[in-house]
Homo-oligomer: A and B are copies of this chain.
Amino acid sequence: MSTKQSKNNLYLTTFTQHIGAKGLTEVTENANDPRIVRTMHMLREALLELMEEHGFERITVKDITSKAGLNRGTFYLHFADKFDLLERITEDMMQGLRKIAQTFDPLDLVMHESRDTPFPFTVRLFEYFGKHARFFSVMLGPKGDPAFSVKFKEFMQVHLMDKFNEFHYSDDRMPVPWDYLMAYLISAHLGIVQYWLEQGRDYTPWDIALMFTRMTQLSPIQSAGLKK
């Protein structure tokens, strides 16, 4: 009773260790705590690995925690469910993209397109994709989340395409409606990102960015170098 220095903290044990399936982001965790950092990292990595293999749909919380080597209860200490986890990862990545987007200047583009050099902003984006290749590769791939592709497109729309709104004529003078042209270009660029990741990044960000410059200036037929 005295040798073991007793349990004098019995009446002061931990409160509210739990998140609750509803209160999704009401958590104010100490993000500096190395235990939390580690846990988060393990869970994120485990989720991406499992998604790569089976797709988000087929994964259970049990799978995630056992791959992460953590207790299932620990998961619920931080996230309401697997959707919550995915959202948090996604939001972080989008933050990263938005930060890069701040450096974007449309006038820069005009300068570079006339001299067959890649647009530096595009290079920076691809460097980011490369840095987080696993995430983007999974999320934009066949096992990924189609809602993320939409998010990504919205990002391009707002941060890139909308900057050029002022430069085009009124709709009746255009060969193709403005909004359809935007849909075309955004999806085309997304397609390049997907293909590049799929191929294991066989070109440098610089090379890819140069392709963008060229494909924007040439018609598809010219880009193909088709024999007539």
Residues of A within 8 A of B (CB): 55-57, 141-147, 149-150, 164, 167-169, 173-181, 183-192, 194-196, 211, 214-227
Give complex CA distance A143, B187 in Å. 17
A-B contact pairs, 28 of them (CB 8 A): A55-B147, A56-B57, A57-B57, A141-B150, A142-B150, A167-B227, A168-B224, A168-B225, A168-B227, A169-B227, A174-B223, A175-B223, A176-B211, A176-B214, A176-B215, A178-B224, A180-B192, A180-B196, A180-B211, A181-B215, A181-B220, A183-B191, A184-B188, A184-B189, A187-B188, A191-B191, A216-B221, A218-B219
Chain A to chain B: the 8 pairs with minimum beta-carbon distance, closest first:
A187-B191, A188-B188, A183-B195, A142-B147, A142-B150, A174-B225, A219-B219, A169-B225
Contact of A219 among B142, B146, B167, B216 (CB under 8 A): B216
- Does A190 lie within 8 Å of B192, measured CB to CB? no
Give complex CA distance A215, B194 in Å. 22
Give complex CA distance A68, B101 in Å. 46
- Could you say which residues of chain B place their CB within 8 Å of the CB of A195? 179-180, 183, 187
A sample of 4 more A-B contacts (CB under 8 A), given A168-B225, A168-B226, is A164-B226, A168-B227, A175-B222, A183-B194
- Does B220 lie within 8 Å of A215, measured CB to CB? yes
- Could you say which residues of chain B place their CB within 8 Å of the CB of A192? 180, 183-184, 187
- Could you say which residues of chain B place their CB within 8 Å of the CB of A174? 223-225
- Could you say which residues of chain B place their CB within 8 Å of the CB of A141? 146, 150
